[in-house]
Amino acid sequence: MKQVEVVAAIIVNEDKILCVQRNTNKLEYISKKFEFPGGKMEPGETKEETIKREILEELKMIIEVEEEFLTVTHQYPDFILTMHSFICSCKDSKVTLTEHIDYKWLDRNSLAGLDWAAADVPIVQKLIQS
């Protein structure tokens, strides 16, 4: 089975966390689900470099990587995903969507109300508990 390794940014601004909604996808189980933004590492990139690049590409935001948060391995029907998440900060909370269809800034207690991609659920659970 195909294995995919990605990084995800848990972007915090004024005690709110950025949640982004995926566009329609041919893979029904991730179509229109909420996720933490990020993506695949390019050869030679560090995880931190990848997050900064992906967030700039996807959201036109400049972020700072604060600390590693949680690594999740999840088996979807078509692939195995390993996702390294990091707590990040931003000075400007303005978001410009280039790939996603919606976003929300939510406090920790409101995160559970969204329809999350399965791999993001353990991160949401840990955020709510911390």
pLDDT tens for 72-98 read 999 999 999 999 999 999 999 999 999
- Which H/E stretch holds residue 121? helix 121-129
Residue 130, pLDDT > 90, answer no
End-to-end CA gap in the chain = 34
Q: Which of 56, 78, 45 is nearest to 11 (CA)?
A: 56
> Over the stretch 91-121, which tens digit does the pLDDT of each residue have?
999 999 999 999 999 999 999 999 999 999 9
Question: What's the whole-model pTM score?
Answer: 0.96
What is the per-residue pLDDT across 33-58, written as a single tens digit (0 to 9) for each?
A: 999 999 999 999 999 999 999 999 99
